Amino acid sequence: MPRPTPPDERVIARRRQVGERIRRVREHLNLSQQDVCGRSGIDVATYSRIEQGHSSPLLDTLIRIADAMGVELEELARR
């Protein structure tokens, strides 16, 4: 089976932007990472990697994060 190709710089940059946006929304709502993780059922280490842009979350995970924060999914992906 062929190895997956690594993401290009544009994808990496956008992933970091999304992670930064998630962090800003969380902080604006005065929520800790633990708050979001407790409400969403996402592991703290996994959530932290998403905010740092080191991990590409599945759509289902983004929906759980948005629901835990009480915001629309689009709010997390806005530039």
pLDDT, residue 7, reads 75
Asked if residue 1 has pLDDT above 70, the reply is no
- pLDDT, tens digit (0-9, with 9 covering 90-100), for 24-57: 999 999 999 999 999 999 999 999 999 999 999 9
| CA 21-40-33 angle, 5° bins | 50
Tokens of 5: 């190709």
Q: What CA–CA distance (Å, rounded) separates 27 from 51?
A: 12
Asked if residue 71 has pLDDT above 70, the reply is yes
Asked if residue 65 has pLDDT above 80, the reply is yes
Tokens of 31: 């929520």
Domains of the chain: 9-77 (1.10.260.40)
